[in-house]
Structure 1
């Protein structure tokens, strides 16, 4: 896939997840919350460089939709799918919520 033409799209649920992560961390440190969420955003945008690098998710609800799962810093799971020239980020989930 030509990564130069792949557009990253954030679904509303993913944006709400980012806001929730920010709000949770900001209870302790607004500065750290801003830095961490910016790292999450950068990671999401960089998924388009190698969109097939991460495997199809093993969780049944994601597997049946052929979503990819990319783990960020061992704690956050990016759920995304590549459709034509779009990389669509559907959600960001803390890994503890998957258990």
Structure 2
């Protein structure tokens, strides 16, 4: 079973998402963040469950879609470790800087 690790960036992204949604609804903010975290639990058993990034298909990065959000991650098979790299709204552009320091 793979270990799922959240990067500081992914945690910060999640906090930002929560804060933004909470301006209108604390309940919906909690619901959204819980679903984001819960959707990554399956990566423990199925670390290659997500699709490769359409913008960067020749990289080892994959994504899970949860509602309007993209959860970007990388699986290190040798260490059996999944690193959640970032979480962003689907309308935002994905930039190459997400690849910096993304696997522990």
TM value normalised by structure 1: 0.83
Q: Report how far residue 26 of structure 1 moved.
A: 0.4
CA distance in 2, matches of 1:47, 1:94: 20
Query: Any unmatched runs of 5+ in structure 1?
Result: none
1:78 to 67, 71, 82: 71
TM value normalised by structure 2: 0.79
Aligned to 1:92: 87
> For this pair of structures, how many residues does the alignment match?
92
Which structure features the higher share of helix residues?
1
CA distance in 1, matches of 2:66, 2:10: 14
Q: Report how far residue 46 of structure 1 moved.
A: 2.3
Task: Give the 4+ runs in structure 1 shifted more than 4 A.
Answer: none
SS at 1:23's partner residue? helix
Aligned to 2:32: 36
SS at 1:52's partner residue? coil
Aligned to 2:98: none
Q: Report how far residue 98 of structure 1 moved.
A: 2.4
What are the Cα deviations for residues 6-30 of structure 1, in whole angstroms up to 9, with x where unaligned?
A: 1100001100110011001100111
Aligned to 1:12: 8
- Compute the RMSD of aligned alpha carbons: 1.6
